[in-house]
Amino acid sequence: MNDYEMLRVIEFLDKTRRPFGDVIGGFDEDPGWKIVVFLIKAHIHSQTVAISTLGQESGLPYATSMRLINRMVDSGYILKVPKGPGAKTFSLQPSEKLLQSFQAYAGKTKSLLAQTLGLRGGEQEEDYYFGGTPLGSQIIPPMRLVQKRVESHIELRFLLNDDNYFSSMRNMWADFRNNLASKKNFDLLPLPDLYRRILDNRNKPVSDYDVLAINMPWLGEFAEKDIIRPFDALIQKTGINPLDFHPSIWSTARWDGQDYGVPGYCTIEILAARRDLFADAGLDFPRKFEDVLAAGRHFHAPQHGMYGAVWDGARGMPIASSFMFFLGACGQPTISLRKSRAGFTLEGVNLEELHCTIQSDAALSALDFMRRLIEISPPGILNMAWDKTLDVFMKGKASLGYFWTMRAARFEYDVQSVVKRRVEYLPQPSGPGGTRASPIGGFLFCIPSNLPEARVELAADAIAWMASREAMKAHVKNGFPIAPRFSVSADPEAAASSPIVRFVDQLAKKNLLHTWQRPNIPQYSAIERILGEEVHDALSGAKSDRTALADAADRINRELKTSGKRRTGPAS
């Protein structure tokens, strides 16, 4: 449950309690409830609470309120936190015990509401999202989509990535007010499983799904293997406006001169820095590799449970992505893309002539940087990625971290985060001879090629709504800084909801968002698999850096030669 949902539950409960006092007077309101709610809301908003303020909030006489507060302190529900080293004054905050207990109470409350207000039988009430969309903004699906679904009696089926964004999207569809689908119509899988399920689905006579969410770098492979169908003819019918998307992001859905889908959300790989720690130490934020290492060494104190940096180092996809991003920061792609004013491009490239370029000084510099990062990372960083590294930073145990913005959004909205409003979001620091270009990731909504024609138009309408300005704005307000549309990132309400929205929009305006670090060629998944093995072997000591790079280059070149199909790269 994120902060917005928690606040909506509190707001709802407050509103249901108010009529009792209005209608039946003469009774004292529950002072314990007032104290708990005030503390929880202050915690979410990162506000300090003095004991006198909390006493006044209870509505009790001073002496009585102090006895109640002290009983709650003794019971472990409230913590007294000194306002500074050696300070005699203190502030109050909810303990972990109180936070967990209130979360459980809020969860039971929304489950009861879900049962009362239309949750379909057999579904898990605790998965219901209270309020559908936050801050009172109800997203109404277009009548054309509602009417067509009713007339056709079609139950749409979705295959999505298992992350918070798609969970929220599923909740929006299954919300009792929209009633467009049941949660059983959504399969959410981790990335490796999602990739395999999409390949398996293509081998079936009829697709199990109407809409697929594919990782952006998979586009070339899935288009060439006829797993997804071109979307061009459906764009005008659905009213999707490509010009409202950042060009670099819309281009992720194009292959061989055709559109194969619509960007569902974008996420940017960035460096997150603890603003408070850097301010206290009088340090500037990192702009280069050496700055990252110097700052990380300054804060690295493993004996106190504090680490200089976290990043994705686990074998396979995580470490492969990290290597490609650090190599990009050194100004080089993994394969021989054509250099352009914007960086590198596949346009006009003969795919049969592509070759691996990682036997280079830039690749050695990237590996050297990763090896030095290990020295200031938590133990076992080569087995850590994604949620594990995020958890370390979110608990305040790291000064720096490389993250996707979609995951970093939890720093500001997760109830368990201790770093909210203390994080500075930075472009990727540059390596030797490189730039600060930030890699783009995310997912595309696509239609399977083996979906019956009778279902295609309805699937396209579903995608149009899922990627609409209104739906994206609702998700941004729900704590998911997607904003691939100009109209969303320019919306004052959306921009004010998250510092990441403004930050990503600034990167786009400075032309610092790029996709070439992970080119969407048909061999991308094979390249990622090879790098995930060879780079990990180098950093774990199984191979020397030069041997690992040579072995990786040899294996990648074989893949490029044996699995190439089209002779020219994708037109823009």
For residue 34, give the 3-state DSSP assignment. helix
What is the pLDDT tens value at each position of the chain, 572 positions in all? 666 667 778 877 887 877 777 777 666 668 998 999 999 988 887 778 999 999 998 888 999 999 999 999 999 999 998 877 777 788 999 999 998 899 888 878 777 766 665 444 444 444 444 443 333 344 556 666 766 666 777 788 999 999 878 887 887 776 644 556 677 889 999 999 999 999 999 999 999 999 999 999 999 999 999 999 999 999 988 888 888 888 888 889 999 899 999 998 888 999 999 999 999 999 999 999 999 999 999 999 999 999 999 999 999 999 999 999 999 999 999 999 998 876 788 887 888 899 999 999 999 999 999 999 999 999 999 999 999 999 999 999 999 999 998 888 888 877 778 998 899 999 999 999 898 989 999 999 999 999 999 999 999 999 998 888 777 777 676 666 665 565 565 566 666 667 787 788 788 878 888 899 999 999 999 999 999 999 999 999 999 999 999 999 999 999 998 865 543 445 44
Give the integer Cα–Cα distance in Å for 398 and 188: 30
Contact 3, 164 (CB under 8 A): no
Contact 442, 484 (CB under 8 A): yes
DSSP string, 241-285: -GGGB-HHHHGGGEETTEE--EEEEEEEEEEEEEHHHHHHHTPPP
Report the relative pairing of strands 90-94 and 78-82 from DSSP bridges: antiparallel
pTM recorded for the entire structure: 0.78
Select from 275, 327, 251 the least CA-distant residue to 513.
Answer: 251
Other C-beta atoms closer than 10 Å to the C-beta of 15 total 9
